[in-house]
């Protein structure tokens, strides 16, 4: 006999431990939340790991805005535990990396094959909701809790749009390749997709955190000639040199633009800015040679206004933004995992430490101080 109203296992709410931001600047609160099951076009993912990205710090501090309360985190990997109706791109048991674009499939940019510019992105970030505007998490008081960029990876589990899960090689270590979800794809994609670097090209990379080091690796994979790493932290410059940079500059000593032009006469083909700061974006413009391109990868506060000397335009210089590495997630994320498995993309060296979710506030504080490159939360 079928009892009307009885729920199958898949329809029941679950519990998930998560790190929730309730107010700007506040600590992340570790608590158990109730998670409702996936609906049509959605999947339930059990996260294996999440990197902590500088943008999480920016959302915590209100430099970037999302509706609160919300589970932060957006650089995750995991295993699919359940799928809603109509999901065809992944199945239960698949190993996946979550991407950062909702890929609604309906907007102009998705239809033009540019899912990295999906028009729903701003909306889901602003609301901290899923694509239909709803939320799936509740705290013990019954308050609705959002999740950052639809994915909220500072949690053991999440319900996310199916299109945001990209299936990868199941042999890849999830606690390492999670970095591909944001920083690595943003950086490697900037070099390989946004500007399509070629053998022998020169570049400078301002900022050697997770994104900048990924740009450097992308440039090396493309066969770049001169790769100049710029960072004030000696350990990061050393790491950059070990990952493919041919030169490293401390921007606190001398004039950094002149130093770049001493190494590469006339400037570089590509000057990547991976910090998201007005002054360094303007420096990137000055480092690019005539016909070269300044590529803005870092995300500054949205009200930032730049001042650029106009003369460079008459050297036919280009000024270009890079959104999520101009990435097609279903094509590029498995490809970047394969590059890791072949040893071309070195991710282990970029991970400073693995922690548990309970240590997240300390790790966010370290990131605020500019220490380390990537801390990764590992879930049980």
Rg (C-alpha) for the chain, rounded Å, is 21
**Tokens linked to 40:** 């049509």
The length of the chain in residues reads 380
Which of 326, 361, 346, 280 has the alpha carbon at shortest distance from 52?
Answer: 361
- Quick one: which of 96, 110, 165, 364 contacts Zn ion (CB under 5 A)? 110
In the shown chain, the binding pattern of residues 32 to 61 toward Zn ion, with x for contact by CB under 5 A and - for none, equals ---------------------x-x------
Question: In the window 216-235, what residues touch Zn ion (CB under 5 A)?
Answer: none
CA distance 212 to 254: 21
Question: In the window 175-194, what residues touch Zn ion (CB under 5 A)?
Answer: 182
CA distance 58 to 68: 14
- Quick one: which of 57, 72, 118, 128 contacts Zn ion (CB under 5 A)? 118
Closer residue to Zn ion in complex, CB, 215/249: 215
Closer residue to Zn ion in complex, CB, 202/352: 352
The footprint of Zn ion on this chain (CB under 5 A) covers a number of residues equal to 7
Name the one range near Zn ion by CB under 5 A: 118-126, 270-278, 305-313, 356-364. 118-126
Closer residue to Zn ion in complex, CB, 16/99: 99
Contact 54, 177 (CB under 8 A): no
CA distances from residue 304 to 15, 64, 148, 276, 307 in whole angstroms, order as listed: 41, 12, 23, 10, 10
Concatenating the DSSP letter of every residue in 191-232 gives IIIIS---TT--EEEE--SHHHHHHHHHHHHHT-S-EEEE-S
Least gap, CB of 8 to Zn ion (angstroms): 32
Told to check if 71 binds Zn ion by CB under 5 A, we report: no
Least gap, CB of 296 to Zn ion (angstroms): 15
Told to check if 104 binds Zn ion by CB under 5 A, we report: yes
Least gap, CB of 75 to Zn ion (angstroms): 6
Contact 169, 338 (CB under 8 A): yes
Residue sitting closest to Zn ion (CB): 53
Closer residue to Zn ion in complex, CB, 59/270: 59
Closer residue to Zn ion in complex, CB, 118/284: 118
Contact 363, 373 (CB under 8 A): no
| Dihedral of alpha carbons 94, 100, 104, 108, sign | negative
Closer residue to Zn ion in complex, CB, 37/276: 276
Least gap, CB of 71 to Zn ion (angstroms): 15
Least gap, CB of 55 to Zn ion (angstroms): 4
CA distances from residue 168 to 45, 77, 80, 157, 194 in whole angstroms, order as listed: 14, 10, 12, 18, 23
Name the one range near Zn ion by CB under 5 A: 112-120, 160-168, 219-227, 241-249. 112-120
Least gap, CB of 336 to Zn ion (angstroms): 15
Which of 192, 195, 215 has the alpha carbon at shortest distance from 273?
Answer: 215
Least gap, CB of 216 to Zn ion (angstroms): 17
Closer residue to Zn ion in complex, CB, 184/192: 184
286-301: b (≥16 Cβ within 10 Å) or e: bbbbeebbbbbbbbbe
Enumerate binding residues for Zn ion (CB under 5 A): 53, 55, 104, 107, 110, 118, 182
């Amino acid at each position: 006999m079928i009892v009307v109203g009885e729920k199958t296992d898949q329809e029941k709410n679950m519990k998930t431990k998560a790190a929730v931001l309730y107010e700007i600047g506040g600590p992340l609160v570790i608590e158990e939340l109730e998670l409702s099951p996936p609906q049509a076009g959605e999947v339930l993912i059990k996260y294996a790991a999440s990197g902590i990205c500088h943008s999480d710090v920016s959302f915590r501090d209100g430099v970037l805005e999302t509706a609160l309360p919300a589970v932060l985190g957006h650089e995750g990997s995991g295993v699919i535990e359940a799928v809603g109706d109509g999901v065809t791109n992944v199945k239960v048991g698949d190993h996946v990396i979550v991407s950062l674009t909702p890929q609604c499939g309906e907007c102009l940019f998705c239809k033009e094959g540019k899912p990295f510019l999906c028009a729903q992105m701003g909306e889901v970030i602003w609301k901290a909701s899923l694509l239909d505007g709803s939320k799936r998490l509740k705290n013990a008081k019954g308050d609705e809790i959002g999740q950052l960029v639809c994915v909220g990876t500072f949690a053991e589990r999440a319900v996310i749009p199916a299109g945001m899960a990209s299936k990868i090689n199941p042999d890849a270590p999830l606690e390492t390749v999670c970095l591909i979800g944001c920083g690595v794809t943003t950086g490697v994609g900037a070099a390989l997709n946004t500007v399509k670097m070629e053998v022998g090209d020169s570049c400078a990379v301002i900022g050697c955190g997770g994104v900048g080091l990924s740009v450097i690796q992308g440039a090396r994979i493309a066969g770049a000639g001169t790769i100049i790493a710029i960072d004030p932290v000696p350990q990061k410059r050393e790491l950059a040199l070990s990952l493919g940079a041919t030169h490293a500059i401390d921007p606190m000593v001398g004039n950094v633009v002149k130093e770049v032009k001493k190494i590469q006469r006339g400037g570089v083909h590509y000057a990547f800015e991976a910090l998201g700061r007005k002054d360094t974006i303007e420096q990137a413009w000055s480092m690019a040679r005539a016909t070269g391109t300044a590529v803005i990868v870092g995300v500054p506060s949205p009200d930032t206004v730049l001042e650029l000397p106009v003369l460079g335009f008459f050297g036919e210089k280009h000024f270009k933004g890079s959104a999520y590495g101009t990435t097609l997630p279903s094509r590029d994320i498995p490809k970047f995992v394969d590059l890791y498995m072949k040893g071309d993309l070195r991710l282990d060296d970029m991970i400073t430490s693995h922690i548990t979710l309970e240590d997240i506030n300390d790790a966010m504080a370290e990131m605020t101080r500019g220490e380390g490159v990537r801390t990764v939360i590992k879930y049980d």
